[in-house]
Amino acid sequence: MEKERSDQPLDPAAVESAERQMLTPREERRMRELLDALCDPTRVKIVRALRSDNTLAAGDLARVVGRSRSATSQHLRVLREIGAVVGRRSGNVVRYSLADDVASTVIEEACAAFDALKHDAA
């Protein structure tokens, strides 16, 4: 016969601490949006191009990431929707930069972590 498992945790303090680290459903949705944005290499390239306070027009970004203007614009739309990049119009040109919010920070830090992968592969 198998013994029944107790509903009591072995380490209540550790369980309580771990439970406090869990995300709310809203935070989970936000996390999923950010991670989804990072799942596309073109969006990662865009973020990398805009690091270090770089500001680039969409056409210049397209050139840097090696995609068409149309494809780059679609990726910029995704990044704008999650608050990672902002566009500022100057005449007929929209220049993009990383936003000053947590979404941009999370994505920028993840891209910086990818730099370590680049060095490991070398």
DSSP string computed for 47-78: HHHHTTT--EEHHHHHHHHT--HHHHHHHHHH
**Which of 121, 88, 89, 99 minimizes the C-alpha distance to 37?**
99
When mean pLDDT is compared across 10-19, 26-35, 52-61, the lowest value belongs to 26-35
> pTM for the full model?
0.74
Range 14-121 classified under CATH 1.10.10.10: yes
**pLDDT score of 49:** 93
**pLDDT score of 97:** 94
Half-sphere exposure at residue 64, Cβ-oriented, CA atoms within 13 angstroms = 19
First to last CA, the chain: 56
**Which of 99, 120, 101 minimizes the C-alpha distance to 47?**
99
Segment 65-90 shows an average pLDDT of 93
